[in-house]
Amino acid sequence: MASVTFEHLTKTYPNGFISVNDVSLYIEDGEFVVFHGPSGCGKSTILRMIGGLEDITSGRIYLGKDLLNDILPRDRRLAMAFQNYMLYKHFNVYDNMALGLRLRDLPRTVIDSRIKSAAGFLGITDILGKKLKAISDAQRQKVALGRAIVCQPKVLLVDEDFARQDEDRRREMIEDILRINEELGITVLYVTNNYEETLSLHKRVVYMKDGRVISSAAFQREYNSEN
Ligand code: ADP
């Protein structure tokens, strides 16, 4: 687990467009924070900078006390669940979940126990031996989350695109992510431009517009009355 701190975080693209503009924010260890705001306001850019998919133009990001700017993306102890989650259709569920752990040269017994416990947690134990092409999209989403949690990340980054599909599947995915936060204690940063969904989560909402944080408040009080 870890807190996340942004200090004057800024992203300017080569064409001069400022996508994230001087954002400073503190996210507590174990918190679930919703980043909300109109399309194009910079939410995903923030996630991509944390995950190392995008360079930071200026400012700092800390994970706990560690300055992320200086840490290679693969060493950041983060997991990302974006729409383009790379699952391998010709691998079975078990091997998809094992991939990141094998790259880290963990002992086979450790890998096995982590996969079994994550599969139990997500309710996919019975499909561990199935090829990805033989399971449903809803199950694939769970596999992607399983692959994220077996790495025991401190922070889980979720882009709403991940569960854009139908309403039931989206709700099920959100339930899983809420459980990952509550039961595993993993800090979650969740990006959405869906207002209904933001309301339904009952979590702290960071509302962004034009690259800036307009408000950051516990949902029930300030955010609700402002909108
Ligand atoms: P959100 O997630 O809030 O919808 P994004 O973070 O994806 O928004 O994008 C923020 C803004 O940055 C958008 O206006 C987008 O067009 C712009 N943007 C994204 N990538 C680039 C790029 N490579 N060059 C210039 N502008 C970009």
Structure confidence by residue, pLDDT tens digits, 107-160: 999 999 999 999 999 999 999 999 999 999 889 989 999 999 999 999 999 987
Confirm or reject: Cβ of 225 under 6 Å from ligand 1.
Answer: no
What is the pLDDT confidence band of residue 167, given thresholds at 50, 70 and 90?
A: confident
Q: What is the residue whose two structure tokens read 């962004």?
A: 208
What pTM does this model have? 0.91
What is the pLDDT confidence band of residue 226, given thresholds at 50, 70 and 90?
A: very low
Full strand arrangement of the beta sheet holding 204-209: 78-81, 155-159, 187-192, 32-36, 204-209, 212-218
The rounded distance, in Å, linking the Cα atoms of 143 and 6 is 30
Q: How many whole angstroms from 64 Cα to the centroid of ligand 1?
A: 27
Q: How many whole angstroms from 39 Cα to the centroid of ligand 1?
A: 9
Distance (Å) of CA 9 to CA 4, 57, 79, 151, 191? 12, 8, 20, 27, 17
Give the residue among 16, 79, 24, 17 at the shortest CA–CA distance from 46. Answer: 24
Confirm or reject: Cβ of 16 under 6 Å from ligand 1.
Answer: no
The rounded distance, in Å, linking the Cα atoms of 136 and 64 is 37
Q: Which residue segments constitute the domains of the chain, with CATH numbers given?
A: 1-77+154-166+184-227 (3.40.50.300), 83-152 (no CATH)
Q: Does residue 222 have a pLDDT over 50?
A: no
Residue from 19, 55, 159 whose mutation best tests the ligand 1 pocket (most atoms within 8 A of CB): 19
